[in-house]
Each structure stands twice: as structure tokens, then as C-alpha cells.
Amino acid sequence: MALNQSIRDHGGMACGLVQREGRQVVYVINSELPVHRADIGCEFVDAVWWFTWVEDGEPTIGPADDVEGVVVAIAKALKVMPRSR
């Protein structure tokens, strides 16, 4: 899945596919502070696929065709520190 690879490439997070209540989600943690974690789903809404926050009533993170933007939003929400260059 493109989201898994992009999360790994971003750095500072670990992820994997898990089953939650009969559906697959991407479980993401902050590698440095694992207390910051989230289940990410994908829902078809108004003819568009969206990545969603599963535990928060599924508000959208971003469209599935903007994986990089979604990864940045997830990193920010999980308080991942930007990599120094």
C-alpha cells in the first residue's frame, strides 16, 4: 500500500496493516513517542476515496490521491519531529 511506504519513507513513524472491528486499517505510531498513535482508514465519500481518522468518527485527513499530503498531516497529528537535513 502506498500509504504504508510513504509513512516509512517520511521517517519518525512506524506502521502496519491491522484488523479493527472487521476492517483493515493502517496503524501508525510515532517511533519516538508511541503514545501518539492513530488508526487510518480509507472511505469512499462523494465519489472520492479519502484517508480518515478511524477513532475520531472518521473525519477526513485528505484525498487518497494526495498520499504525501496525508502523510504530512499524520506526522503533524502524531507530533513527529521534522528530520534535520
pTM of the model: 0.89
Torsion of CA 9, 13, 15, 21, to 10 degrees: -140
3-state SS class at 32: coil
Which residues of the chain fall short of a pLDDT of 70?
Answer: 57-58, 83-85
Distance of CA 16 to the CA centre of its chain: 10
What pLDDT is recorded for position 36? 97
What pLDDT is recorded for position 59? 83
Taking phi over 0 as left and psi of -120 to 50 as alpha, with beta for the rest, 50 belongs to: beta
CA dist., res. 70 & res. 78, Å (int): 12
Distance of CA 71 to the CA centre of its chain: 6
Distance of CA 77 to the CA centre of its chain: 9
Neighbours of 71 (CB within 10 A): 26
